[in-house]
Amino acid sequence: MHIHILGICGTFMGGIAVLAKAEGHKVTGCDANVYPPMSTQLEAQGIALIEGFDPAQTALNPDIYVIGNVVSRGNPLMEEILNRGLPYISGPQWLAENVLQGKWVLAVAGTHGKTTTSSMLAWILEYAGLAPGFLIGGVPQNFAVSARLPQAPAQDSQSVSPFFVIEADEYDTAFFDKRSKFVHYRPRTAVLNNLEYDHADIFEDLAAIEKQFHHLVRTVPQAGLVVSNGKEASLQRVIDKGCWTPVEKFGSDADWQASNPQSDGGFDVMFAGKLQGHVAWDLLGEHNRMNALASIAAARHVGVSVEVAIDALAQFKSVKRRMEIRGVVNGVTVYDDFAHHPTAITTTVAGLRSKVGKARDGARILAVLEPRSNTMKLGVMKNALPASLVEADLVFCYGANLGWDATEALAPIKHKATVYEDLNVMVAAIAEAAKSGDYVLAMSNGGFGGVHQKILDALQAKEILK
C-alpha cells in the first residue's frame, strides 16, 4: 500500500512514517518545513519528502492520505483531497488500526515528561529482553530512532514482542477529529505523569483537559494498570470521575517513592515502604526521579522486576534535545532543550543549576528562550515566565512574531532579561556576554532558526578575534 502523509516532519507523524515503511508500505510525505532531526531520520529510511502542500501531489495517487493535526481546512492539498473525495485518515487512527491492534500498549500521558518517560520505559523493556515497539516524540539515544515495530525477543526469535510503548499526547487528533490523540490507543498500561493547563489553542481550561484524560482512563481494562502521579490534584480529579482499573501512585506519600537523592543524580527506589534498590545515573532533578518511578512501575506491570528496571536506568542515555550538549567553545557549554512551558522551563533551569552549582561560584546560566508553542504565542502563560527563569543569570528572549509584548511580560526580571526581534542580533549579544565557565541553555519546541550552531559559531569567531 502507498500512503502519503501530510505533516510528515512532526515527531509523531514522522514516527508513523517510519513504522509504515517498516511494515512494507510505500511511504511519501509532505510538510511546510522540512528540517532535522526528523527530516534526516526519514531520508535515512528512504522516505521521499516534499516541501509544501501543492495539490499536484495527488498525482502520486496513493492508496490513502494520512493527515497530521498540523493540517487544517484551507490547506490546498487537503482541499483537493476533499473536493475529489479521496480516502484519508488521521495519524492516530491509522496507527491504532494498523500497528496497535492486538498489542499490549503502554501509553505515557502528561503535560510534561512524556518523551523522556516513554524513552525510559522503552529502554527498560528492551534491556529486559522484551524487544518492544515504540513511537516517541523525540529520538531516544539508546535507540537512535523515534519509532520502530515490535521485534523478536532474543530468547524467542520465532515470535514478535506483544509490547508497544507510545507517547500519548492529549493534543487533538485532526481537524476532523477533535478528540485527544490518546483515546485511539486503548492502552493496557497507562502512565499519567502530570497534568496542568496547556494547549490553549484547543482547550478552554484545565477542566477540558481533565475530561480528555478521563476519556483515556475509561479505555484502560480492569486487567490493566493506571500509574498516576500522586502529587497532582488534577490527576486525582480525573481518577475520581471514575476508574475501573487498579491504580499505583508515585511521588511523596505514594506507592512508589524516590528517597535519599544524591548530588550526582542517584536515588533510592521505595515501593510500599520497602527499599527496592538504588538508581545510579547522572540525570538530575525531581522531575527525572518521578519519570523513573513511573517507568519502573509500568515495566513491573508487564513482568520486568524492579531490580532489572533499576539496572536498565543506569544505562539510560536520555533523549535528543533534552539537556543535550551541542558543543563547548572556549569553556562555554551550549545546551539544547525542548522546554517550552513555564513549568518545564523552571524544571530545566533548576536542573541545570543543581548540576553546575551556584552563580556565586562562577557558574552562570544564560537562558535563551523562544516562546514558540501555540500556548505561548497566545500569551496565556506569559505572566509565569519571569518566575520560571529566576535561577538564570541572564535571559535572552526571541520575541519575533508574538501576539504580546515579551519585554512587558519579562519586566519583573528586566535587570537580567532582554528581548530581541532579530535572531542574529540576539546571537551576537549572547556571544558578547558569554565567558569561560558559562552555560548557555537554549529552550524551544522548534528548530529555533539553528540558534545553537549560530551561538557556537559566534563564540568561535569571538575566540579567533582575540
User: pLDDT digits over 275-296, tens only?
Assistant: 999 999 988 788 899 999 999 9
Is 313 a residue whose pLDDT tops 60? yes
Give the HSE-up count for residue 307: Cα atoms under 13 Å, Cβ half-sphere.
0
In the predicted structure, residue 200 carries a pLDDT above the cut 70: no
User: What share of the chain in percent tops pLDDT 70?
Assistant: 96
Distance CA 95, CA 202 (A): 22
* pLDDT value for 252: 81
Q: What is the pLDDT of residues 104-136, one digit of tens each?
A: 999 999 988 899 999 999 999 999 999 999 999
Instruction: Give the pLDDT mean for 302-320.
Output: 92
Per-residue model confidence (pLDDT) at position 140: 87
Residue with cell 540576539: 426
Quick check: 181 and 173 in contact, CB under 8 A? yes
Res 23: pLDDT: 94
In single-letter form, the type of residue at position 412 comes to: P
pLDDT beyond 80 at 236: yes
The pLDDT assigned to 464 comes to 62
Distance of CA 444 to the CA centre of its chain: 12
Strand partners, 369: 397, 443
* pLDDT for the residue 196: 83
How far apart, in whole angstroms, are the C-alpha atoms of residue 112 and residue 228? 13
Cell numbers 529552550 correspond to what residue? 443
Write out pLDDT tens, residues 409-440: 999 999 999 999 999 999 999 999 999 999 99
The whole-number average pLDDT for the span 15-27 is 95
β-bridge mates for residue 228, sequence order: 192, 249
Q: What is the mean pLDDT of residues 211-237?
A: 96
Looking at per-residue confidence, does 448 or 32 come out higher?
A: 32
Per-residue pLDDT at 307: 97
> Residue 135 pairs with which residues in a beta bridge?
147, 166
**DSSP 8-state symbol, 313:** H
Bridge partners of 268, per DSSP, are: 259, 278
What is the chain's mean pLDDT, rounded? 90
pLDDT in tens, 245-260: 999 999 988 999 999 9
State mean pLDDT over 189-201: 84
Burial class (CB in 10 A: 0-12, 13-18, 19+), 244: exposed
- The better pLDDT of the pair 331, 217 is held by 217
pLDDT at 246: 97
% residues pLDDT > 90 (the chain): 66
Task: Cite the DSSP H helix spans in 247-285.
Answer: none
Q: Is 44 exposed, middle or buried (0-12, 13-18, 19+ CB in 10 A)?
A: exposed
Lowest mean pLDDT among 211-215, 340-344, 377-381: 377-381
Q: What does the alpha-carbon distance between residue 442 and residue 30 come to, in Å, rounded to a whole number?
A: 28
CA-closest candidate to residue 249, choices 261, 241, 258, 260: 258
- 331-355 mean pLDDT: 84
pTM for this model (two decimals):
0.79
| Confidence at residue 8, expressed as pLDDT on a 0 to 100 scale | 94
CA distance linking residue 338 with residue 348, whole number of Å: 9
Question: Does residue 261 register a pLDDT over 60?
Answer: yes
Domains observed in the chain? 2-90 (3.40.50.720), 102-313 (3.40.1190.10), 324-465 (3.90.190.20)
Between these two residues, 461 and 297, which has the higher pLDDT value? 297
Overall average pLDDT of the 93-98 stretch: 97
Question: pLDDT class for 465, splitting at 50, 70, 90?
Answer: low
pLDDT at position 314 is: 94
